[in-house]
Every structure is written in structure tokens, then in C-alpha cells.
Amino acid sequence: MITQLEKRIAFRYLKTKKNDGFLNVISIFSFIGISLGVAVLIIVMSVMNGFRSELVNKIVGFNSHIIIQSNDIDKDLNLINTNKIKNLTTGILETSSGEVVLINKNFTKGLSIRGYSEDDFKNLKIFKEINFESNIDIFNEKNIIIGKELSFDLGLTVGQSILLMSPAGEDTIIGNLPKQESYKISYIFESGLLEFDQNVAFVNINSLENLLNFNKSNRNIEIYLKSPLDIEGAKLKFKELFKDNFIYTWADLNRSLFSALKVERNVMFIILSLIIIVAAFNIISGLTILVKNKTKDIAILKSIGVLNKSIYKIFFFIGFYIGFTATLFGVVIGILFSLYIEKIRTILSQIFDISLFPEEIYFLSKMPSEISIKSILIISICSILTTTVVSIFPARKASKLNPIKALKYE
């Protein structure tokens, strides 16, 4: 532990004199550099955490949380309903899906279609804003619901008809030809994700099975959970119940996306950590110059009996104090900036008349931010540890100074 005398000497050395102007500049830049590095890291991590949370919320909002490829739909549904596992769910739906080709005038496009019964369709969260009392036939057979982006691309509106061509064959007098059916657009949805809005459409499950030559054995079970974020634990419980069925989750379907986000977050952490490391190395320069300037003082302290260990602790404490206070200041700045980042973005956009974080690119109405205590602790510990390590070398150099030689050349 550092003694009261050692602290007093350390704080006295921290107050640089007029002839220590360059040393003062280095200390200030070290403090600012570490503070900025910590603050920027917290802000970037908060924004990336917020973006990930917003993305997860959107995905679990319009996708089922768990899909079970059923071998016997009636038997499997009965197994779920008679098992305690049903307590984990908020909804259990029958569904079928497939790929078709959309034909509209001279334009063709591959399209993924999902089929639900009319009762199950009403339970989908993505369509919770629809007033079904005034839209009774919205999900009737020969009706189709498409995404907003797809309607923009093809210039489609509610009431228009489109042609869907199935990969399933249909026997005719001239041979086997792909089956084609005309569907009327009954509603246009908006999920908030470009890829989903462009490539997914919803139809009545009977229409889908007729178009693709499917039957009830091709149906799957969609599970909606009370806690969709705890997906791995829930998946294990369903696997225990359905050992012979193929089960996949929203996390499995979007694994590449979230892996990319995780890699990007880790890379950003490493790159921005270099700011702290560079600033921390300024502490070595500052302490080395301080040791050089205080050579006479160190020699006098040693000549009156101050131990090498005490000299080491004095200069080590100076480096540690700069790093600790700079980290603390950076944490405060980072948290405040993260809390008010949307207001700051709005003000900057108005002042410079530019669009920061445009909604048409990110599909978010505001810049997301989610402060993680764990991230802040990791950043703070790494910053303090770095500044602590770089303080060791100049402190050891000061403690090993020979007092006789130091006083001889002063």
C-alpha cells in the first residue's frame, strides 16, 4: 500500500511548474487521449448493442421462434399440448412454405410464400394492426399479401392481380407444364427489413398446398415463445421432446448475420482500443521526462533514507492516477453521449443539413443505443490495466537511479 507521504509527493509532482511546460502538455494529451478512447469505445459498443437488439426484435417480431419439421402434424401438435413445454409458448401454428416465380407483365422474380390458416394468420404479430372485422376476406383463397418493398419494385397496389408459377407440374394435353395461379393482392405489409419485404409473401395454406401439390404431411409447426431471446435453452427442451424431428430457430436462420455483427463488434473493439494504447504510451514519455526533471529530488529523497520501493510507488502512482482518472472521465462522457445520442444526431443533422443514420438504409427511425454494464467494465479494466503496465518501466527507472551520480551531475 502507498503511504500518506508517498501520496503527497506524487500529487506534488503532478502539479507541474512553469519550467515543466512540455511535460504538462504530454500529461494533458495522455489524459485526453485515454478519455476519448474509452468514451468512443463505450459509444460504439452501445450503438452496436442497440443495433443488434433492434435487429433481433424485428426478426423475432415477424418470424417464428422455433420451427419443427413435422412427421405427423396431428400427433406432434397433441404431444406439445399435453406436455409441460407448452407453458413456454405464446402461440403454436400450422404452416407450410415453398418457392414460386412471380410473373407480372414482363417481370419475373423468385418469391418465398408462406401459408397459414385464416385463424392462425390472425395470430401473427406482423399483422396485429389489421382490423379483421372490416377486412373479413383479406386471407381468403386466391388472395395474397406482399411486402412494401416488393410493391414498390413492381408498382403493385392492393386489388391488383399477379401470377404465381409453381415448380410443381400439371398434366395437360401437350404434356406436363408448371402450374400457374392468379392471386389478388389483399394487403401490403411492412416488416422493416428490406430482404423480408422484397422476398416473402403470405397466402392461405390451402391455396399454397394446391399450388405446390403439397398435402398435410408437408406442414410444419411454428412455435412462438414467451422468452424468444433464450432460444438455445428452449431449443434443447424441444429437441428432447422431438428427437426424430428436424428443429431450427430464428437464430439458426440468421446465424451468418449475427456472426458478422459479432465479428464487426470485436474488430471495432480491437481497432478503437489502439487509441487507448497510443495514449497510454504517452504516459511513458511523460513519466520518463518527469524522472529526468526530478533527478535531483529523487537523489535527495534517497540520500535522506527514502527506500527504492517508495520511489517506485511514487512514480507508479502518478501513471496509475492519470490512467484511472482519465478512464473514469471517459466512462462518464461515453455514458452521457450514449444516453443522448439520438438528440445529438438530430442536432447535428439540423446544424449541418445532412442525414446521419438515414432510415432508408438502416430501416430504423432513430439511432439505437443500449448501454451494457459488462462492456463498460471490460473497457474500463482494459484501459486501467494498460496504463498500469506502461507506468511500470519509468517507475523502475526512477527507483534504480544512483543518488551519488545524480547529485554529481546536477
Domain ranges of the chain: 4-57+258-408, 66-227
| pLDDT, average across residues 292-317 | 79
Higher-confidence residue: 307 or 208? 208
Per-residue model confidence as pLDDT tens digits over 323-379: 889 899 999 999 999 888 888 888 877 787 776 666 655 556 677 888 889 889 988
SS3 372: coil
Three-class DSSP category at 314 = helix
Residue 199's closest CA among 329, 276, 101, 346?
Answer: 101
Which residues are registered as beta bridge partners of 133?
A: none
DSSP H helical segments within 157-254, as ranges?
Answer: 194-199, 205-212, 231-241, 250-253
Per-residue DSSP letter, 409:
-
What pLDDT is attached to residue 377?
A: 92
Residues 369 and 373: their CA atoms lie apart, in Å, by: 13
Is it the case that residue 94 has pLDDT exceeding 60? Answer: yes
Report percent pLDDT > 70 for the chain: 87
Q: Which pTM value belongs to this model?
A: 0.70
Q: Which three cell numbers stand for residue 152?
A: 414498390
Q: Which three cell numbers stand for residue 78?
A: 397433441
Q: How far apart, in whole angstroms, are the C-alpha atoms of residue 203 and residue 158?
A: 14
pLDDT of residue 147: 87
**pLDDT tens digits, residue range 101-155?**
898 877 888 899 988 887 787 777 777 666 555 566 777 788 888 888 888 888 8
Three-class secondary structure of residue 54 per DSSP? helix
Residue type, position 25, single letter:
V
